[in-house]
Amino acid sequence: MKIKDLRNGMRRVDVEGKVIEKSETREVRSRYRNTLLHVATATITDGTGTIKLTLWNDQINQVNVDDTVKIENGYVTSFRGEIQLNVGKYGKLTVVE
């Protein structure tokens, strides 16, 4: 699937793109468990468009600028008026060699 075709609410999304930007890691408190989680955002492109990819905990160190990443079984949400790609519990994030 191409990034330009992604829409809010889509599920079971498979997409591949190059990381062109990565934010600083920040801490957020879990809504469900009283624990601190680490979150960062990577911006990825496939030539048809760009989208922000939400990275949690261990995923943050897996991904660097200029890496090509493949997301399998991801989903798309809207956060602060901007659509974002999420890996989620059932998705898979792979850095392509």
> pLDDT per position in the chain (97 positions), as tens?
999 999 999 999 999 999 999 999 999 998 888 899 999 999 999 999 999 999 999 999 999 999 999 999 999 999 899 999 999 889 999 999 8
Number of domains in the chain: 1
Residues 4, 49: contact at Cβ < 8 Å?
Answer: yes
Q: What pTM value is reported for the model? A: 0.92
CATH of the domain at 53: 2.40.50.140
Domain encompassing residue 75: 3-96
Closest residue by Cα to residue 1 from 80, 76, 55, 94: 76
Return the ∠ at Cα 33 (arms to 29 and 34), rounded to 5°. Answer: 55
How many Cα atoms within 13 Å fall on the side-chain side of residue 81? 0
Q: Name residue, tokens 């079971």.
A: 12
Q: CA–CA separation, 56 vs 7, rounded Å? A: 21
Residue at 97: amino acid letter: E
